Structure 1
Amino acid sequence: MKNLLLTLIIILLTNCISDKTELIGHIGRPHISPNGNKIAFIYAKDASKDVWEIYSADINGENVRQLTHFTSARIKKGPVWSPNGEKIAFHADLNEGAQIFVMDSNGENLAQLTDLAGYNVEPNWSPNGNEIVFNTVPKDGKVQMLIMNADGSNIRELHNPDGQNWYPRMTTQNRIVFTSDFKEKDNYDIFSMNLDGSDIRQLTSIDGINWFPEYSPDGTKILFHSNQDDPSLSDSGNFNLYMINADGTGLRQITSMAGQELHAKWHPLGKKLIFEWHHEGAKGLHMFNLTNGTIEKIKLVY
């Protein structure tokens, strides 16, 4: 009787597991909540046809939940948790351009923060959560970095060198780290500067595209993805993850997988990274353990 009961329990547990559905399609742009318990990401079953929505899940991939539901904006990207974990900012295409939005971390109380010409994209919170830095991409002209209050008020320009200036992130030392080609056209390196534009420092000097700089939680390292090892230096070619010290020294390659490893973010404890991987049509989220070098796919199920 005991053996029969145990068998039935195993069968029930197996059926419960098999009932879970895995999310399959275009999955990317992950970001980990400040407490390390959840992730936000974008998803579309067919990226060329379907509406891209923003989802959340437990960090182990369980309990997938759709957060955005507005089809008027077909593409949403770049979800980032506020430092207190209560809000998620992102950008969405709208009316021949793109604007910055914010919502509660459960998807409620959606609010549009910007109403500017062109594409206004890549929001990122200041460390205290009071401000948001972002990019504006005009129809004609160069990509610029802007900053605004967290409620969308007081929009103003940051200092912008004479180039295409991408992906601003504000540090706890009130500096901005960003990517730009102002030193060499079409060659994107990582720079930092004070908020007023003074003391610009070039942190990388690498042929290719070096994008999405992300400071480690303790401020000592910068993570980014680069195609420096791709012979063609194509923006659709091979990308790997790299790391440097905050002063630009100590370049270190983190991944060497086939395809593209992109949009890596730090776990709040600084011991792991989450990133998206594209290879031969496969797209998914992976976790890299910096302690032992292992890489594990995050299976997203609901």
Structure 2
Amino acid sequence: MTGRMMLVLGAFGLAAASPSLAEDGSARAVVTSGSSAMPSWTPDGTHLVFHSRRKDAKQHGIASRNIWMVAADGTDERQLTKGTKDEYHPALSPDGKKLLFVSELNGSRDIWIADPDGQNAVPLTDDPGTEDQPAWSPDGRQIVYAAFPKEGGSFDLWLMYADGSGRRRLTTTPANEIFPAWHPSGDTIAYVTDVNGNFDIYTVGTKLAFTRWPARGRTGDATPWVANADGTAPIELVAAPAPALHPAWSPDGRTLAFQHRGEKGWEIWTLAVPPDIAAPGRLRLAQQVRGGADVDTAKLRSGDTLRGTVTDQRLRLRTAYGAVEFGRDAVATVLFDTGERGLARIVLTNGDTLSGFLENEAIHLTAGGRTQSVAADAIAQLSLRAGGQGAAPPAAFRALMRNGDSLLVTAAFGPLRLRVGGRTMDVAAGEVDRIDFTEAGNKADVVLRSGDRVSGEVVGERLPLVLAAGPRLAVHPSSLRALNRTGGR
């Protein structure tokens, strides 16, 4: 048993036995009392925390929501908070030592932190607006949340340290950005936004779970789906009863918790994810079409689908910050979803996303002894089977590009040369925790691993980067928004 599991078990007095869960893709009710919602897992995957409105918790005739916990098999249910105002959206820290939740005790929605049993609760935010939907970073050092200002506007994502300090705004669009969720690597945050008029999921990572309902249907028809983090290869988990909302992955990725509306109110359910879907790696479109056949698939704009082996060994993309070339084994998906001639979005097997103009004028697909040349303009989506690419260099940083691309890079960048107070200094990659660049690229704010901060003018036209996927780039600082050290490195 790991130290982390021992800590969580000790904090809650939980039994060490693993819950008995179905492994055949079936769904089962876990909590049916009251109206219960927003489940999330304990770090060891044995229990769920959730909020519940119970009829025996009266407040002027209206039951208030409080935080509860239950074992994954439905036993050992207990109440953690007993507030007189609504308390909801719970999330345990990765080490199991702290519990985050939203409380309305002070008259507005604020984020609070408590011991794992709900005791010794204190507010982390006290703004008159709304702070909601908190989520821990995988290392437990930071918290991302959605906030809506009192004076009006829209929801934006904010970030703060676990003690409530260092608050900074992550999004500044007129749209609403809500329900943030951190990727287990610590590199990226998934969230929901209505920037395109509908609520869509934006993320970089490996797999995501979400709910979907028919365009002319209702949320009561919503069912859980699983897809790659770039939105490709969506698969419906038909064993879950509708409506099924707010899915949450178990730490081992084998089970989804979700809320389902029963006859008496919202209930907490779990679903054992089918093994072929839960297996590590990307979901592939060919697995849906041909039951797992190991082939490459091209979906054409005409609606036709071609399957076979892509023989092109290199894909070349001209991005806003430079030309880059990848071996086919590094590429998972190519999406031509903008409608603009030649413009593509490439998703790499490591989760990186790049956008630009694909310089391959055609893709060559071999099947049944014949090779067909397909114009790139005729393709809507290209899904490549898993290749035999060797181990990539370790990634030390996530480069967030000004055009929205996201790239893992090694520690072999720089050094970054800054002019500070009339003198020039070199900042080595090994010293850096985070670098934020101005839009013009002429200034940078550097947070060092020691905790110190350095700001100054950027000296030099180009910053050399080595992508974890292999290629080398020399980018102008104006094309970079930030370089963030990845979690755990």
**1:86-141 CA deviation, whole Å, 9 max, x = no partner?**
21111122444200011111122212110112111000001111000001122411
Q: Which residue of 2 aligns with 1:80?
A: 91
Q: 1:149 aligns to what?
A: 161
Is it true that 1:283 corresponds to 2:262 in the alignment? no
Unaligned runs of 5+ in 1: 1-21, 194-218, 294-302
Tell me what 1:242 maps to: 225
Question: Partners of 2:244 and 2:238 in 1: how far apart?
Answer: 8
Question: 2:115 is matched with which residue: 104, 107, 113?
Answer: 104
Matching residue within 71, 76, 91 for 2:102: 91
- The corresponding residue for 2:209 is 223
Deviation at 1:159, TM superposition (A): 2.7
> Residue 34 of structure 2 contacts residue 264 of structure 2 at CA under 8 Å; is this kept in 1?
no
2:136 to 120, 125, 134: 125
Is structure 2 residue 48 aligned with structure 1 residue 39? yes
* Cα shift at 1:41: 1.1
> Displacement, 1:291?
2.7
Superposition deviation, residue 226 in structure 1: 2.5
Deviates more, 1:58-67 or 1:284-293: 284-293
CA distance in 2, matches of 1:30, 1:287: 10
In structure 1, how many angstroms separate the alpha carbons of the residues matched to 2:236 and 2:258?
Answer: 14
Aligned residue among 227, 242, 245 for 1:262: 245
How has the CA–CA distance of structure 1 residues 255 and 98 changed in structure 2, closer, same or farther, with 3 Å as cutoff?
farther
Paired residues, number: 240
284 and 180 in structure 1: CA distance in 2 versus 1, 3 angstrom threshold: same
Does 2:257 match 1:274? yes
8 Å contact kept, 1:96–1:118: no
Q: Gaps spanning 5+ residues in structure 2: where?
A: 1-30, 277-489
Cα–Cα, structure 1 residues 64 and 173, in superposed 2: closer, same or farther, change >3 Å? closer
Does 2:38 correspond to 1:49? no
Tell which has more relative contact order, 1 or 2 (C-alpha 8 A, sep 6+). 1
- Determine whether 1:175 maps to 2:188: yes
**TM-score, normalized by length of structure 1?**
0.73
Q: Given the alignment of the two structures, is residue 160 of structure 1 paired with residue 172 of structure 2, yes or no? A: yes
Change in 2 beyond 3 A, CA 1:23/1:250:
closer
TM-score after normalising by structure 2: 0.46
Shift of residue 61, structure 1, vs aligned partner: 1.9
Q: Which segment drifts farther, 98-107 or 156-165?
A: 156-165
After TM superposition, the runs of 4+ consecutive aligned structure 1 residues lying more than 6 A away are none
Q: Return the offset for 1:178.
A: 0.9
Aligned match for 2:127, one of 116, 137, 149: 116
Deviation at 1:23, TM superposition (A): 6.1
Residue 190 (structure 1) shift: 0.9
Supply the distance in 1 between the matched residues of 2:220 and 2:114 (Cα, whole angstroms): 34
Please give the secondary structure, in 2, of the residue aligned with 1:50: strand
* 8 Å contact from structure 2 (residues 254, 275) kept in 1: no
Q: Percent identity?
A: 29
DSSP-derived class of the 1:242 partner? strand
Q: 2:73 is aligned with what amino acid?
A: N
Distance 1:246 1:77, change over 3 A: same
Please give the secondary structure, in 2, of the residue aligned with 1:45: strand
- Displacement of 1:50: 0.3
Residue of structure 1 in register with 2:75 after alignment = 62
Q: Greater Rg, structure 1 or structure 2? A: 2
CA contact (8 A) 2:224 2:240 kept: no
Deviation at 1:279, TM superposition (A): 3.7
Q: 1:193-208, aligned counterparts within 5 Å?
A: none
CA contact (8 A) 1:230 1:237 kept: no
For 2:372, the equivalent position in structure 1 comes to none
CA distances 1:2-41 after superposition (whole Å, capped 9, x unpaired): xxxxxxxxxxxxxxxxxxxx86210121111111122111
Native 8 Å contact 2:32 2:267 kept in 1: no
- 2:259 touches 2:266 (CA, 8 Å); kept in 1? yes
1:133-157 Cα deviation digits (max 9, x unpaired): 0011224111111000001111110
Question: Structure 2: how far apart are the matches of 1:132 and 1:88?
Answer: 12
How far apart are residue 52 of structure 1 and its match?
Answer: 0.8
